[in-house]
């Protein structure tokens, strides 16, 4: 874990203002995706501060510290999006975009940034679209190109955008899904996009929506990979720095509730101003731009933490065997903040083959294939992927015994 650097973020990442207000501090954690191999169990992971700031100038919310992304993403590179829900999401999304381009009889160019294994691009008709992806995961390039999609194995930066421009020209469509909250330099990224967009082209980016973090209380989606917590109002203003305009948006279910922003060059598209203003009003109604909202939010998480601890201690005393279910990245924030370690949770079941046999970051809780559920027979299962608890319970209803499922959040519940 040497050479890991972390620095304080002193300016708003969207408007550069120094007027930042600290909202709350979560527990320091290691990078949320740094699952540990058995052979590395003796090494201790470095932990980093995890705090949130609100920009009092434009209303943007961001982390207080930035961890070197080379460390964070080294484990990310192997992630592929093959979950069924995710495939349906991408297919619907691609269909919607293609509808705009059905009329004209020509070939269009689409660039997908952070294209991963090419899943999203594969839903674009190859006769109608020249499909190009860019992603730093070198190991995915071959796999993607087998699908007839060109893949550039690198990060997307302004510098790289010039190379792409020379080779492929400009693009009618540029997309970036679940990457614009992870960028070290947002401005550099947007300058690159702006260079590559045709005059009437569209840039679409999807990110987790801050309103959902507040409304659905998904505080565990706060971890070092997610530097920015976007919502409409600040982004409308931010786009203007690049002579871009937000002309539409969609609210979608992906990743626990996301927002998809549609941007174009200035004066190129009709702006859905009523729709946008209506949503900004909702953001204000939920008081997304007031410090107090977050103080109360934090207080609520603390209350649940204390309540959960009491319940778990009671069970521990009775020698109950407690397991967890689901070890997504957000479980790192969750287990650290709620102080759930090996002494409380003996092991965690997770469906992901990549994680099975490994240990959770820092807390070193073993991750086990759920097919061994009947063998291990825990008495209580804490659902760590708590926002999917219905699916998890449904999936495990045919066990040969009846364990209790504990939903820790947004209110402790035992089913
Ligand atoms: Zn700002």
pLDDT category of residue 1 using cuts at 50, 70 and 90: very low
**C-alpha 88 – ligand 1 centre gap (Å):** 35
Residue ranges matching CATH 3.40.50.150 in the chain: 76-289
What pLDDT does 242 receive? 97
369-402 tens-digit pLDDT: 999 999 999 999 999 988 889 989 998 888 999 9
169-217, pLDDT tens digit by residue? 999 999 999 999 989 899 999 999 999 999 999 999 999 999 999 998 8
CA 14–ligand 1 middle distance (angstroms): 5
Q: What is the pLDDT of residue 81?
A: 57
SS3 for the chain is CCCCCEEECCCCCCCCCCCEEEEEEEEEECCCCCCECHHHCCCCCCCEEEEEEEECCCCCEEECEEECHHHHHCCHHHCCCCCHHHHHHHHHHHHHHHHHCCCCCCCEEEEEECCCCCHHHHCCCCCCEEEEEECCCHHHHHHHHHCCCEEECCCCCHHHHHHHHHHHCCEEEEEEECCCCCCCCHHHHHHHHHHHEEEEEEEEEEEECHHHHHHCCCHHHCCCCCCEECCHHHHHHHHHHHCEEEEEEEEECHHHCEEEEEEEECCCCCCCHHHHHHHHHHHHHCCCCCHHHHHHHHHHHHHHHHHHHHHHHHHHHCCCCEEEECCCCHHHHHHHHCCCCCCCCCCEECCCCCCCCCECCCCCCEEECHHHHHHHCCCEEEECCHHHHHHHHHHCCCCCCCCEEEECCCCCEEC
Q: Distance from the CA of 59 to the center of ligand 1, in angstroms?
A: 6
C-alpha 255 – ligand 1 centre gap (Å): 25
Distance 177 CA to ligand 1 centre (A): 22
Topology at the third CATH level for domain 76-289: Rossmann fold (3.40.50)
Task: Give me the pLDDT at residue 202, please.
Answer: 96
Residue 103 pLDDT greater than 80, yes or no: no
Ranges for all domains in the chain classified under CATH 3.40.50.720: 305-414
CA of 19 to the centre of ligand 1 (A): 8
- For residue range 111-120, list pLDDT tens digits in order: 999 998 899 9
- CA of 183 relative to ligand 1 center, distance in Å: 16
Distance 203 CA to ligand 1 centre (A): 22
> In angstroms, what is the span from residue 214 Cα to ligand 1's centroid?
19
Q: What pLDDT is recorded for position 2?
A: 44
Q: How far is the CA of 238 from the centre of ligand 1 (A)?
A: 9
CA of 273 to the centre of ligand 1 (A): 22
What CATH number does the domain located at 305-414 have?
3.40.50.720
Residue 70 is predicted with a pLDDT of 67
- Per-residue model confidence as pLDDT tens digits over 22-79: 999 999 999 888 889 999 999 888 899 999 999 999 999 999 999 886 666 555 544 5
């Amino acid at each position: 874990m040497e050479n890991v650097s972390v620095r304080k973020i002193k300016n708003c990442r969207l408007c550069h203002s120094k007027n930042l207000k600290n909202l709350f501090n979560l527990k320091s954690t290691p990078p949320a995706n740094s699952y540990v191999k058995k052979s590395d169990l003796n090494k201790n992971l470095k932990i980093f501060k995890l705090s949130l700031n609100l920009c009092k100038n434009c209303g943007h919310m961001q982390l207080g510290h930035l961890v070197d992304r080379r460390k964070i993403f080294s484990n990310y590179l192997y992630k592929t999006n093959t979950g069924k829900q995710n495939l349906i999401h991408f297919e619907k999304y691609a269909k919607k975009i293609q509808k705009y381009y059905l009329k004209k009889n020509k070939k269009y160019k689409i660039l997908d940034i952070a294209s991963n294994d090419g899943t999203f691009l594969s839903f674009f008709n190859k006769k109608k679209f020249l499909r190009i992806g860019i992603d730093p995961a070198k190991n995915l390039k071959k796999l993607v190109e087998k699908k007839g999609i060109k893949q550039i194995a690198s990060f997307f930066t302004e510098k790289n955008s010039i190379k792409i421009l020379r080779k492929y020209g400009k693009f009618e469509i540029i997309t970036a899904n679940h990457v614009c909250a992870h960028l070290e330099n947002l401005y550099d990224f947007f300058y690159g996009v702006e260079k590559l967009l045709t005059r009437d082209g569209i840039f679409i980016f999807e990110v987790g929506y801050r309103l959902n973090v507040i409304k659905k209380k998904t505080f565990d989606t706060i971890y070092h990979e997610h530097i920015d917590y976007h919502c409409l109002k600040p982004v409308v203003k931010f786009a203007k720095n690049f002579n871009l305009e937000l002309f539409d948006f969609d609210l979608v279910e992906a990743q626990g509730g996301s927002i998809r922003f549609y941007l174009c060059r200035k004066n190129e598209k009709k702006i859905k101003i009523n729709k946008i203003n209506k949503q900004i009003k909702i953001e204000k109604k939920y008081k997304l731009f007031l410090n107090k909202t977050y103080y109360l939010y934090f207080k609520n998480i603390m209350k649940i933490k204390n309540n959960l601890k009491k319940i778990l201690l009671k069970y521990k005393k009775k020698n109950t065997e407690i397991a967890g279910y689901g070890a997504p990245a957000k479980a790192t924030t969750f287990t650290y903040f709620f102080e759930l370690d090996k002494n409380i949770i003996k092991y965690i079941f997770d469906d992901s083959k990549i994680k099975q046999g490994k240990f959770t970051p820092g807390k070193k809780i073993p991750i086990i294939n759920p097919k061994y559920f009947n063998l291990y027979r825990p008495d209580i299962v804490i659902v760590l992927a708590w926002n999917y608890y219905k699916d998890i319970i449904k999936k495990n209803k045919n066990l040969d015994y009846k364990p209790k499922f504990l939903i820790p959040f947004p209110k402790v519940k035992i089913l």
